[in-house]
Amino acid sequence: MSHRLRDKVVVECSNTHGLAIFDEHLRRILRGQASLFDWSRSTSLARTLSPRVLESQIDAKKELEKSLKATCEEFIMSVTKLVVDPMLSFVTKVTAVKFSLSSGGQSQKQESILAKPLKDQAFASPDKVAEIIQKVSAAIQQELPTVIEKMKLYLQNPSTRTILFKPIKTNIVEAHVQVQSLLKAEYSPEEIQSIINMVSIQDLQAQLDNLL
């Protein structure tokens, strides 16, 4: 996991009295319960910043809050891609093939190739799909725990980590749901069970929950 992105998540608190203040405000901002610049609260992150920032214009304050939210979104998408990118690429290829068939305009040879069952396509053979599933499974078991440990290091409040991890979990589960839907439609039960052997959604959710 890139140190650059991790550091961006906490850059807004570089002049605070500690990460605990940032941690609490990030949690409240992500829930929509507070603004980054809630000047009336004694625990406000804004009160811990330098006088120069305190005296800045409202638009500058909004830009800083927007930057924090954008950083969180970037972090969420980066972790999602880190874990399920092989699945996302597979779904994109399948979508492109189906679109090409429906739109027409291909030569007879191209149309003949594209019209083959999905599992007969070179990129979507049962063995290829099994390889994709294995890569994602390995990322969940090896890469994702490392990300969680860094979140625990920089975001000490468990509620904050839960809020930040929730959309990551949702994205990972959704990628699995899309692939499972394709498998049920295009592959035989025997191929799904014996070759591809994909984890159930229920087991996946439990596995992700246990990481926190």
Q: What confidence tens digit (pLDDT) does each residue in 29-66 have?
A: 555 555 444 434 444 444 554 555 555 556 677 777 78
Supply angle C-alpha 161, 163, 168, rounded to 5.
90
pLDDT of residue 18: 41
How far apart CA 42 and CA 22 sit, in angstroms, is 13
- Average pLDDT, integer, range 69-78: 90
pTM score: 0.69
DSSP 158: H
CA distances for 108 relative to 18, 89, 98, 99, 103, angstroms? 66, 26, 16, 16, 14
- Average pLDDT, integer, range 88-108: 77
pLDDT of residue 177: 95
For tokens 């739109």, name the residue: 103
Segments of 27-93 assigned E as strands: none
The answer to whether residues 29 and 35 touch, using CB atoms and an 8 Å cutoff, is: yes
Q: Judge whether residue 113 has pLDDT over 80.
A: no
